Structures are given as C-alpha cells and as structure tokens.
Structure 1
C-alpha cells in the first residue's frame, strides 16, 4: 500500500510538473509572439493612395490633405524577414476621446483618404493592429503617446522634405535605385520604397516610403525587414505623381 501511495505521489508530481511546463511554454509563446526587432515608420503618398481607393469602386472618392504632403500610415513593430506582430493586446481598446487634443493635426497628417469614412476608424485600426504591440516601448506606451510620436516623426522625417533634398520632386519619373540612394544620402540610413503597379501598362507609382527605428527610437537601416528594399520594378522608372492618376487599373503590390 505504501509503495502504491509513493508511486501515486510520484505520478501526480510528474503530471503537475508536465502541466506547469506546458503552461510556461504557452506563456513563453505568447510573450515571444509580441516581440519585435524594429519599428517601421510608414508614410504614404496620398495621391497614389487615393487612386488605389478610387480604382476599387467607381463610387469611391477621396479626402486629401490641404497641401501636397506625405502623410502617416502608421508605426509598425516588426520582426525581421516577416510581418507583425499584430493585434497584441485586446485589453487596450481604442478610446477616441484620448485623441481629442491631437485631432486637428491627425486629420491633416494621419489622414484616411477614404472619403466618407469616420477618421477614427483608421486610427482605431492602426492602434489595434500596431499600437497595442508598440506599447512595449516607453515613448509609445499608451494611445496618446503612440499617435503623438507619429506626428513628431513626420515633422522630423517628412518624405516631402527628404526627397526634395535629394532633388526628387512630384511629377517626375525616377529609377527606384536612385530614390533609395537619395533617401540614404539624406538620412544616412537605408529605407524602403513600395509601389502600386498598373497591370495594363506596367507603370509603377510611388505609394509608400518606410524608414526604421530601433527600440530607443534611433533611426536604423531597414535592411532585414520584409520585402526590403522595394517591391517596385527595379529595371523601369517609377512615377512620383503630382496628381491622382486616372483611368488606369492599379493594384497594390
């Protein structure tokens, strides 16, 4: 009987140990899934973004900034060579009232080109998908700080100014390599350029430019991020449009 009790105790302790280990592994996986290497600060060219929106439906119209400017798409915590993490913390719901002091700036600089949609829906999406992961960074540790930091980064690294310093201006065509080199010369760091391509004509339009930051918000090379350095055609000129392109079928690539 005593041997049976000892064996039972050993079995139960073993089971408890295994269960505890499994729980720790699950916790570890969850923690790991929220880890990231860099923050990608993504700016988009509203004229191309508008074209993509209009092309998806004849009923669509756009909201564009008052001035010809690059606008914020988001700050994206990212692991090297892949996308994400995303939607990290459902216990941090989006609160529109938090952004009231920033609303005017966001409406101009973090604009949703999709006319008719509630601007808060775009900001809510960015917060839920990316902001809840970025809170691991002290400077981005709540909703207000996340959006305020985006505005600060745009003020310092606005691609309108960066490209102009490299003699790259709207209304012209460029080899994507020259644009990448121009960005690197101005910022002393390598960024990423993303295009939208016209399937019928093969013409590519500049859509987004992404630059990278480490966890102390210091600018770093984007070398190891997904699709670095570009998805644009490397052998043809790409268009940096000065107006919304019309009458062409464009897909986001």
Structure 2
C-alpha cells in the first residue's frame, strides 16, 4: 500500500470510528479532529435566493442564475462537535449522475465560481461527518440524500398553496408562516432572516431538524444547542424576530442585493 493510500485509509477509519487524530497521521496540518462521528441530529438548511445577496458585504460577487426560481439547498449539516476529515476526497466525477439535480437544487450564487467548488466545500466541511452514516457514506450518497430530502420537503408549493407569495409590499407575521410550515414539519425547524438596507426583515433560510436516519425531529441535547448557537453566530442572518413582520421578497436577477429597490 502506498503512503498516500495508507493515509487515506487511516483518516477514513478514524472518521468512521470517531478516533482522535492529529497531523501526525498526515490528515490535516495543525488540526486536531475529535469525535467527528459523535452526532445524532442534523439540519437540512434551505435558502431563499431572493434574500441571499442582501446579507453579503461584497455586493459585486452575487449572481442568481435565471434558471433558479425556487428554494435551494444551502447544506445538510450534522450537528457535531469537533472537525470533520479533510482527507476524504471528492471529485467532480462522483456527482455526474445527479449533477442536473444539484445544479437546479444546490447552486452557488457567487460569480465566477463553479458549482462544484461549493459542493466540494460542503462535503469537506459537513459531508465527511455525515459519511459516518451508511446511507450517506460516500460523496454521491451524501448529495443524493440532500436532493431527496429537498424534493420531499416541497416548500415552494406549500407556501404558494397557502397564499404566502413573494412581495415587496406585503409582509407576514411570524406565526402566519409557522402555521403553514408546522403541519409538515411539526416544531422541528427554525426561520432565519436578514435585514435589508431599509430595515425590513427578509426571510432567507429554513433549517429543518432531522435525526441521523433522515427522519424529521431532533432532541435538544446540550452539544446540539451549542452547535446551533454557533451556527447562528457564524451566519450572515439571525432568527426571524417575532415582534415585527417578515418579508418574503421576490428574486431580482438584475439587482439581487437590493431586491425591493
């Protein structure tokens, strides 16, 4: 066995068993990875393209492809402590079978960046932890699982049939949105908003809580609460406030960072 193949085997074995390993194993320079398989729940995070660019500091990098008209996937994120494995590689060829679905349902909104680099980053950051579960135990299976979940939770048709439509004039109460989502999701989700230049709260993300086996639900254990607080802190958005109305803004392809101006 070559040295490179040996290192890959060591890293993958450590990932699957939850071993602790350092850069002495050749896996990640200067990084200690702990218990990357020690998780029980995950978030399927969906994002609304119409609001995505509002939260970006650099307004010139954002572009919404005109083929994108619905809610897209931001990520499928195990709620874990510690670092995932940097040395479980992913190649473009791994995703060719589902690339059409990924292009439509999991696109990047950053100019000049091929979608694959977004997918690769999500795999390294989150997928390699999800790979501890057999049903997501490869790059293909992980992304296939996310696509199936996105299709299962048909948020677009649910909102439209409930007369919650995109608008720059009409806003919705927090409870009005939840009353539509709760029959499908129970209480197992979070609404995330961004604030636009006029102080309006714009709905940007929906985080659906899932068990490890991809069924809906998630117990609020201590480590998951810590991860959840960290994920909010590191995000451009925040929990949608309950004391003001929320805008579900339309997609503005020509001026995506100011969709209502």
TM-score of the superposition, structure 2-length normalised? 0.72
Question: Which sections of structure 1, spanning at least 5 residues, go unmatched?
Answer: 1-24, 79-83
User: 1:66 deviation in Å?
Assistant: 1.7
Counterparts of 1:111 and 1:34, CA distance in 2: 27
Question: Which sections of structure 2, spanning at least 5 residues, go unmatched?
Answer: 1-18, 22-31, 233-237
Superposition CA RMSD, Å? 2.8
1:185-224 residue pairs with structure 2 within 5 A? 185-198=183-196, 200-221=197-218
Matched, 1:243 2:241: no
Counterparts of 2:189 and 2:207, CA distance in 1: 6
What residue in structure 1 maps to residue 54 of structure 2?
51
User: 1:158 deviation in Å?
Assistant: 2.5
If you compute each CA radius of gyration, which structure gives the higher value, 1 or 2? 1
User: 1:218 deviation in Å?
Assistant: 0.9
TM-score of the superposition, structure 1-length normalised? 0.75
8 Å Cα contact 2:45-2:73 kept in structure 1? yes
Counterparts of 2:81 and 2:49, CA distance in 1: 26
What residue in structure 2 maps to residue 145 of structure 1?
141
8 Å Cα contact 1:166-1:186 kept in structure 2? no
What residue in structure 1 maps to residue 178 of structure 2?
180
Alpha-carbon displacement from aligned partner over 1:53-74 (angstroms, at most 9, x marks no partner): 4x523x3340335252000111
Counterparts of 1:106 and 1:210, CA distance in 2: 19
